Amino acid sequence: MMAHILSTGDEVLLGDIIDTNSAFLCTALKELGIKVQKITAVGDELDTLASNIVDISLQTDLCFVTGGLGPTRDDLTAVACSKASGQALELNVTALASMQSYFEKRGFKFTKDNEKQAMLPLTSNMLVNHNGTAPGFYMKINQCMFFFMPGVPSEMKLMFEQEIKQVLVTEFDLNEDILIERLTVFGLPESKVGSLLNGFDMNFFGMRLGFKADFPVIEVKIILSVNFQNRYKADSDMAAAKQWVVAQLENKVVSDQGLTLAQEVGRLLTQQKKTLAIAESCTGGLISNMVTDVAGSSDYFLFSAVTYSNEAKMNVLNVQKKTILEHGAVHEKTALEMAQGARLKVGADFAISTTGIAGPGGGTDDKPVGMVCIGLAGPSFSTAKTYRFSFEDRFKNKQMFAMSALESLRRHLVSLAKAV
């Protein structure tokens, strides 16, 4: 089946917001065996919106419309749908009751302006908004089934998962699934990943690879369309394909489950019942932010210190003054003592540290921009290593520094797991 996504709102066209809704829908529909053939963005102009709906209704099977269901005067999607379909708007009592219940549970006052959101085309079917006030709806116009959803991503995603997905499976008797395995790769450019995986098509007929670069990691997707009756064989084929890809990329695959590096580190720490402390200088708290973005990180993350100045390194982490005077802030000896100090500060099992030069200024011939020293300390060892990156961009250097520190810890945790 073919689908069209229609993203509405002046804020999309003006670049005030990034259209993450379309990216989510493309992925979710792909996994149902539905191919998105086009994405269109239109502003808050009634005639333009209505004419786009008419055009789409004659060209494709499904259309997913996001935005324009709110209570303000620029929320025109339902009106545009009414104009395009020739159906009058009427007060949908089910939608109204759903909205009133939502307001009541949260102690909000329901006003006449909000009632506008319950005005839906006559033959439409209401979709419950489990995470907001604006109900969605779906209806057929000409040859196309339209699904109208809120523009707020959290509301749209939940509506799709809890309401629309079941409608799609039931109404269109979907009998094909798309299996996708995701692997996270760090330490290789996209071109190198692609060249290492040459020959995949010859080894795994009917499958294809997809690549998504999200600096500094690459996501490799193994994709297979499969009929439900052949699911067992498909699972076996996918397992073999994943094993082949991991072998080709060797130790650069940080997760064969599609986890981020921080999520994989968290998984390993949880599995091994270990704790972590972090000492940062040049990364400015970026590693700690990555770690605490993972749900459940409080189970293993104990402490973070952003010791930017030499005084902070000495006073908070007990880095020796002699070390700073003899070697400077950016040195393996300093990184080592930072990691040791952070670990001892709270009694963590492991600690990682970073001290480097993110740029664009501050570099020297001996210590150029892009140089970072990463420390790693554990119960019976401590080590530090120097890395050099060549990015001109300060944030890219910080990302590489942070990811490299997490990767050093991940590799150690993997080696511990293998030793058991």
Domain boundary assignment for the chain:
2-172, 179-255, 261-418
Query: If pLDDT is split at 50, 70 and 90, which confidence band does 112 have?
Result: confident
Rg of the chain's alpha carbons, rounded to an integer? 27
- Across 313-329, average pLDDT: 98
| Residue 133 token pair | 């006030």
Rounded-to-integer distance, Cα 181 and Cα 208, Å: 11
| Cβ count within 10 A of residue 25 | 25
| Residue 262 token pair | 């921080």
User: 292 CB contacts (<8 Å, ≥6 apart)?
Assistant: 301
Q: What is the pLDDT of residue 126?
A: 95
Report pLDDT digits (tens) over 124-143. 999 999 898 889 999 999 99
Look at the block and give the residue holding tokens 């209704």: 57
216 prior amide bond cis, ω within 30: yes
Torsion angles phi and psi, residue 409, rounded to 5: -70, -45
Query: If pLDDT is split at 50, 70 and 90, which confidence band does 409 have?
Result: very high
Rounded-to-integer distance, Cα 347 and Cα 277, Å: 9
Nearest to 34 by CA among 6, 62, 7, 65: 62
The percent of residues in the chain predicted with pLDDT above 90, rounded, is 80
Average pLDDT, the chain: 93
Report pLDDT digits (tens) over 9-26. 999 999 999 999 999 999
**Residue 225 reports pLDDT greater than 70:** yes
Instruction: State the architecture of 261-418 in CATH terms.
Output: Alpha-Beta Complex (3.90)
The percent of residues in the chain predicted with pLDDT above 70, rounded, is 98
**Residue 218 reports pLDDT greater than 70:** yes
Look at the block and give the residue holding tokens 């067992």: 232
Q: What is the pLDDT of residue 176?
A: 58
Q: What is the pLDDT of residue 397?
A: 97
pTM of the complete model: 0.76
Query: If pLDDT is split at 50, 70 and 90, which confidence band does 175 have?
Result: low
**Residue 412 reports pLDDT greater than 90:** yes
Query: If pLDDT is split at 50, 70 and 90, which confidence band does 227 have?
Result: low
Query: If pLDDT is split at 50, 70 and 90, which confidence band does 228 have?
Result: low
Query: If pLDDT is split at 50, 70 and 90, which confidence band does 74 have?
Result: confident
**Residue 235 reports pLDDT greater than 90:** no
**Residue 113 reports pLDDT greater than 80:** no
Which comes out higher in pLDDT, residue 226 or 378? 378
Q: Which residues are bridge partners to 65 per DSSP?
A: 6, 148
Torsion angles phi and psi, residue 294, rounded to 5: -85, 125
When the candidates are 2.60.40.10, 3.30.70.2860, 3.30.1370.60, 3.40.50.720, the CATH number that belongs to 179-255 is: 3.30.70.2860
**Residue 257 reports pLDDT greater than 60:** yes
Look at the block and give the residue holding tokens 């293993």: 300
| Residue 110 token pair | 């329901």
| Residue 254 token pair | 């940080």
The domain 2-172: what is its CATH number?
Answer: 3.40.980.10
Nearest to 143 by CA among 77, 203, 100, 85: 85
Edge-to-edge strand ranges of the sheet holding 144-149 = 35-42, 2-8, 62-66, 144-149, 136-141, 125-127
Q: Which amino acid is at 104?
A: E
Query: If pLDDT is split at 50, 70 and 90, which confidence band does 115 have?
Result: confident
Please tell me whether residue 253 adopts helix, strand or coil conformation.
strand
**Residue 420 reports pLDDT greater than 70:** no
Rounded-to-integer distance, Cα 291 and Cα 401, Å: 14
